[in-house]
Structure 1
Amino acid sequence: MNTNTNSYAVCFGEVLWDIFPAGSRAGGAPFNVAYNLDKMGLNVQMISKIGDDELGNDLLKQIKSWNISTDFIQIDEERPTGTVLANFDEQGEAHYDIVQDVAWDHIKILPEHKVLVTNAEAFVFGSLIARNEVSKNTLLELIEHSKFRVFDVNFRPPFIDFDFVKTLLGKADLVKMNKAELRQIIEFLGEEYADEDKSIKFIQDHFDLNEIVL
């Protein structure tokens, strides 16, 4: 893709394998956004990192099979490809173990990333990627090069840093969250959760946000 002439979006963050009892599938919230943008016919680039291992090779093959660019997915020779282990309890509720200190925790910023994000129509990111200082600092630097910032809140306990979430809300142009995340953010801000409309209006005014998608 010629990033100088074509409109495109950049998604930043985790690419990984969701491992279920019945099998595995490629995932990670920012990659899911990239996948769906691509299916909508939009140009998209993914900035992430995988391990130099069998899971990483399989992930690259899977992504390429969907004709999604892997040009900006780094290879980590020390840490493994990210995985999420999913199990179900007796009530059928899913529980997720997001394995720590994996490749996507250590996305290093490169000069070409800054150029890529500067020229993109949108820069999409979540909060989980900030659980490690390396990827967190890369995110903070790339945000400053973006002209339109899309924050996909995507809380994943225990990796929730509300102070940093406030920082990201303050830098975003558009924020996407679910109802549970809306309630958590309102409570963290010390407000009473009255109803969705009032809560959204409060967050929108507090952080001077153009739009919130619930």
Structure 2
Amino acid sequence: MPRQVLVIGEALVDEFHDGPVAGGAPFNVARSLAALGAPVRFVSRIGAGDAAGRVVEASAARFGLDPQGLQRDAQRATGRVTVHEDAAGHRFEIHADAAWDHLDAADPGDAGLVYFGTLAQRHAVSRAAVRATVKRAHGVKLLDLNLRPGTDTPELAAESLMLADWVKLNEDELARLLAWFEPDLSALMARFGLRRLVLTRGAAGYALHGMGGELLAQGQGAAQPALVDSVGAGDAFTALLLAGLALGCELGATLELANRYAAMICGVRGPLPADPVKLSPWREALHALPPGGPT
């Protein structure tokens, strides 16, 4: 039977120069999971009745994501991020004291997989809520280590890693962990009891490491000749990986498809295509993957 994925964290609006786009890494992951046909429950908090909250709600509906886990805050507004774009890439200005900073803890139920990140833990209230929810969960816990200013401390990273079974990060984030905690991958994974480490390397592809740091799988980057932006590419990779795990797909094939899915997202504006119908071929490809063993 498929395992439900519990996704907890921020839902917000990314403000590009040409208009707002619903975003937030957990929300990106949850919408992809819903569109890909994986069982998902999303827990976040938005403003009660503000314009940005309506953008979030409309996007959830468009991608078939159940909105029941969206808490409404009467005092604080939906989260906003100003995206500054230049030749060097994107710089994100994440505005403070948003509704998701005051998230209430949730009952994880029988979730077989749990996704959580570090950005949603920037405020004491949401930090306590995320950790209480994750600690109560019995499923496999995947940490998306998203080291943004304000949540890029060794203390927060260590406390989050101790809750996780899997961690997904990029090369810069891995370098920081090795500098903070242990000089090699094997020692780092042993220190935090990590079962798997998923390393995304952008155009260079990905790698999967197991306990002891051994390399279990790797793949080259997938070409994207019509690059628009890289916003949400890592979230797309994570979403398809979680979807494959939820559906019991073979891990190597899942990772390869996740790599191509992330490259596709680099060819659209923002973290997901405006029309969810464009994800239908990816849903079909995911559900056609061969079954795999325990992970």
Q: TM-score range by the shorter chain?
A: 0.7 to 0.9
**What does residue range 23-62 of structure 1 map to in structure 2 within 5 Å?**
23-52=19-48, 53-62=50-59
1:163 alignment partner in structure 2: 155
Residue equivalent to 1:181: 173
Post-superposition shift, 1:6?
Answer: 7.0
**Residue in structure 2 matched with residue 84 of structure 1 by the alignment:** 81
Indicate the percent of aligned positions where both proteins have the same amino acid.
Answer: 30
- Aligned partner of 1:65 in structure 2 is 62
Picking from 88, 112, 119, the partner of 1:128 is 119
Q: CA deviation at 1:69?
A: 0.7
The amino acid across from 2:12 in the alignment is L
Could you tell me whether the CA contact under 8 Å between 2:33 and 2:39 is conserved in 1? yes
| Residues 1:104 and 2:95 are matched in the alignment | no
Q: Residues 208 and 92 of structure 1: is their aligned pair in 2 closer, same or farther, counting only changes over 3 Å?
A: closer
2:22 match: secondary structure: strand
Q: Equivalents in 2 of 1:59, 1:31: separation in Å? A: 9
Equivalent-residue separation in structure 2 for 1:32 and 1:108 (angstroms): 20
Counterparts of 1:24 and 1:54, CA distance in 2: 10
Take 1:29 and 1:12, find their aligned partners in 2: how far apart are those partners? 10
Query: Deviation digits for residues 57-110 of structure 1, max 9, x if unmatched?
Result: 221022112110110110111111101101124x3432110000010000012x
Aligned pair partner of 1:201 in 161, 181, 186: 186
Structure 1: distance between partners of 2:21 and 2:27:
12
Tell whether 2:72 aligns with 1:75. Answer: yes
Contact 2:35 2:63 in 1 (8 A): no
Q: CA deviation at 1:207?
A: 1.2
Structure 1 runs (4+) deviating above 6 angstroms are none
**Paired residues of 1:200 and 1:212 also in contact (CA < 8 A):** no
What is the match of residue 195 of structure 1? none
Q: Which secondary structure does the structure 2 equivalent of 1:177 belong to?
A: strand
Moved more, 156-165 or 47-56: 156-165
Q: Is the 8 A contact 1:127 1:165 kept in 2?
A: yes
Partner amino acid, structure 2, of 1:173? D
Q: Are the aligned partners of 2:31 and 2:64 in contact in 1 as well (CA < 8 Å)?
A: no
CA distance in 2, matches of 1:154, 1:32: 14
> Runs of 5+ in structure 1 lacking a partner?
193-198
Q: Distance in 2 between matches of 1:62 and 1:32?
A: 10
Counterpart secondary structure, 2:162: helix
Q: For 1:164, what is the secondary structure of its paired residue?
A: helix
Report the CA distance shift for 1:6/1:208 in structure 2 as closer, same or farther (over 3 A): closer
Shift of 1:22: 1.9
Q: Distance in 2 between matches of 1:42 and 1:48?
A: 19
Q: TM-score, normalised by structure 2?
A: 0.64
1:19 aligns with 2:31: no
Q: CA deviation at 1:9?
A: 0.8
Aligned residues between the structures: 197
- The separation in 1 between residues aligned to 2:14 and 2:164, in whole angstroms, is 28
